């Protein structure tokens, strides 16, 4: 009887300890990110060109309670196409909710980023080339769902689907002051490291 009582107390203490040490517990930090490079070939009638894109998207989260994290999302993008180039950097708040504490943990989340974009374009007029550089301010709203698939105690692969809405407004003084809305559905994978 004494053994069973001691074993029960030990089991309860270990259960509490291991639950407190799960990757989605209150007080845990998470560092995540994704990196991509793409080369896109465009061919239209006799015209042919290549666009290159580089994207870096790090993030940091803190679990304010079990299964719910608040964080910071950062993005850096650079692309070039013919005589056009663009780079952007943005940051904003993120929120993520996790559904269980297993080796595979599903989650949903959202983030908002304010992004400043610098663009340049060259216009050819016969032998003359005119180069225009302009700024665009973008509000980015993104909603996502995915899973954290744990490779070990602290490291997880993060496949997810994302729906993003970009609302862009060019600064005054550009050729064509525009307000545009772009909607993108994407599938991707990243990596997360949980620190506890």
Q: Please write the tens of the pLDDT for every residue from 113-169.
A: 998 887 777 666 666 667 677 778 889 899 999 999 988 888 999 999 999 888 888
Confidence band for 67, pLDDT divided at 50, 70 and 90: very high
Specify the pLDDT at position 70.
Answer: 97
Who's near 1: CB < 8 A, 6+ residues apart?
none
Residue pair 96/69 in contact by the 8 Å Cβ criterion: yes
Confidence band for 42, pLDDT divided at 50, 70 and 90: low
The pLDDT of residue 23 is above 90: no
Residue 13 tokens read as 């203490």
Q: In percent, how much of the chain has pLDDT > 90?
A: 33
The pLDDT of residue 108 is above 90: yes
Specify the pLDDT at position 196.
Answer: 83
Confidence band for 58, pLDDT divided at 50, 70 and 90: very high
Interval 86-91 mean pLDDT:
88
Interval 49-67 mean pLDDT:
89
Specify the pLDDT at position 101.
Answer: 64
The pLDDT of residue 12 is above 50: no
What's this model's pTM, rounded to 2 decimal places? 0.72
Residue 72 sits at the vertex; the CA angle it makes with 69 and 78, to the nearest 5 degrees, is 140
HSE-up of residue 131 (Cα within 13 Å, Cβ side): 7
Specify the pLDDT at position 159.
Answer: 92
Output the DSSP codes for 184-195: EEEEEEEEEEEE
If you average pLDDT over every residue of the chain, what do you get? 80
Lowest mean pLDDT among 10-24, 29-43, 153-167: 10-24
The pLDDT of residue 14 is above 50: no
């Amino acid at each position: 009887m004494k053994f069973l009582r001691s074993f029960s107390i030990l089991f309860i203490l270990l259960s509490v300890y291991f639950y407190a040490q799960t990757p989605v517990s209150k007080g845990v930090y998470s560092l995540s990110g994704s990196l991509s490079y793409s080369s896109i070939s465009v061919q239209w009638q006799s015209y042919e060109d290549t666009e290159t894109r580089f994207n870096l998207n790090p993030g940091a989260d803190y679990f304010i309670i079990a299964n719910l994290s608040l964080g910071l999302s950062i993005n850096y993008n650079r692309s070039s196409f013919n005589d056009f180039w663009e780079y952007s950097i943005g940051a904003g708040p993120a929120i993520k909710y996790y559904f269980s504490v297993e080796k595979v943990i599903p989650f949903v989340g959202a983030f908002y980023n304010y992004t400043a974009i610098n663009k340049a374009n060259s216009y050819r007029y016969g032998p003359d080339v005119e180069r225009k550089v302009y700024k665009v301010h973008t509000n980015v709203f993104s909603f996502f769902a995915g899973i954290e698939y744990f490779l070990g105690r602290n490291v997880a692969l993060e496949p997810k689907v994302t729906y993003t809405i970009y609302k862009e407004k060019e600064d005054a003084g550009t050729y064509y002051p525009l307000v545009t809305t772009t909607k993108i559905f994407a599938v991707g994978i990243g990596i997360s490291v949980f620190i506890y």
